[in-house]
Amino acid sequence: MDYEAIFAERLAAVHAEGRYRVFAHLARQVGRYPVAAAHGPDGVRDVVIWCGNDYLAMGQHPVVLDAMHAALDRHGAGAGGTRNISGTSHPVVLLEAELADLHGKEAALVFSSGYVANDTSLCTLATILPGCVVFSDEKNHASMIQGIRNARCERRIFRHNDAADLDRLLSAADPAAPKLVAFESVYSMDGDIAPIADLCDVAERHGAMTYLDEVHAVGLYGPRGGGVAEARGLLDRLTVINGTLAKGFGVVGGYIAASATIIDLVRSYAPGFIFTTAIPPATAAGALASVRHLKTSGVERAAMQERSATLKRRLTHAGLPVMPSESHIVPLLVGDPVRCKAITDTLMDEFGLYVQPINYPTVPRGTERLRLTPGPMHTDAMMDDLEAALTTIWRRLEMPLAA
């Protein structure tokens, strides 16, 4: 059996579809956000990053870096083992208390990543409840889909952000079965936001638990950065809230916040929590500093939202196909993977602007796009450059610009 040939064939298929992924080789530089050094065949040069998820530049905020340096010097590099075997480091204890408070919940539990938090928490909850039926938004992130699949329970997919469709599916289910409704607040590829109150109303009417992924909202929305549920005064309507420490908070790691019993349950049963080494103390200390900072400082959130609104307005005015987005995300529709890649290659090679093409399977085929994420430090001059580069490329490729 020629295993290598089988693998190479599958890679050739990705190439043939024009969606082979090439990662930019970058060195981000403290103090120069959103500029990074890009390593290419012709050497190293500066590029402006337009597609980062370190939305608020917390990844290089002095408060975060100081906390990490101090914790590294005090506690060393690694956690020393899984929490079951080696205990919990002090910064993780403080971090979990801070996260529980952020979301108005009794407790929180930290995981290696937001992906792992979703995967292992959803799987554990749905496995523990006998005959559980999970209701999942059709645009849910891969980490939630994977967790639900792994639970091998019954699952129903409701139409995106459609409370009436969820109601229909819940009505058709066995009234006696345990039920869990899983969805996101900000959908990061379209930038739309879930009707959280409506979905909670429906779930509550049918006695279902709710699980909300606030990964693209924590740090960014709400008076204390608690996400969209906090902004809308809905924290107590959600059974479980999931978040990441990697995007708005700028470090790495993921978590859930919920009742003390649910957190204790997941802590006691979830393989993705139990059998893996805890995040390093310095990572936890950095995340803790970031969460605490954004609880009281609204400056970063306000600046990011202003930059996002400005970019949307400018690109729309320039006739570019800005997709409707209620959030800070600025998606530009291209609709073809080869063209999408050609555009981003040109942006990088010719204009020094880094935008990653978003292709299938991240988004449905035919909706390939550029996804722009302006942060607090993207200047008007940077926007001038981006707008000029995009309109130049659109004209060159004879793609339509709105009048």
Shortest Å, Cβ 321 to ligand PLP: 23
Instruction: Return the axis-axis angle of helices 299-317 and 380-396, rounded to nearest 10°.
Output: 30
Would you call 181 helix, strand, or coil by DSSP? strand
Residue with Cβ nearer ligand PLP (330 or 393): 330
Of 254 and 376, CB closest to ligand PLP: 254
CA–CA dist 329, 309 (Å, integer): 9
Amino acid, single-letter form, for residue 18: G
| Helix, strand or coil, per DSSP, at residue 129 | coil
Q: Which residues pair with 137 in a beta bridge?
A: 158
Least gap, CB of 362 to ligand PLP (angstroms): 10
Tell me whether residue 9 or residue 326 sits nearer to ligand PLP (CB atom).
326
The site for ligand PLP (CB under 6 A) is made up of: 113-115, 118, 141, 143, 184, 188, 213, 215-216, 244, 246, 254
What is the C-alpha separation between 108 and 234, in angstroms, rounded? 18
Q: Minimum Å distance from CB 21 to ligand PLP?
A: 16
Distance CA 40, CA 187 (A): 32
**Residue 351 DSSP SS3:** helix
Q: Enumerate long-range contacts of 154-161, CB under 8 Å, 24 or more apart.
A: 160/187, 161/137, 161/187, 161/192, 161/194, 161/195
Q: Of the residues 179, 247, 312, 341, which is catalytic?
A: 247
Closest among 209, 256, 221 to 105, alpha carbons compared: 256
Q: How far is the CB of 357 from ligand PLP (least distance, A)?
A: 17
Between 216 and 371, name the residue whose CB sits nearer to ligand PLP: 216
- State the nearest-atom distance from the C-beta of 142 to ligand PLP, in Å: 8
How is residue 376 annotated by DSSP?
T
Whether residue 247 lies in the annotated active site? yes
Q: Which is nearer to ligand PLP, 178 or 327 (CB)?
A: 327
Task: Report the residue number whose CB is nearest to ligand PLP.
Answer: 114
Which residues have a catalytic role annotated?
247
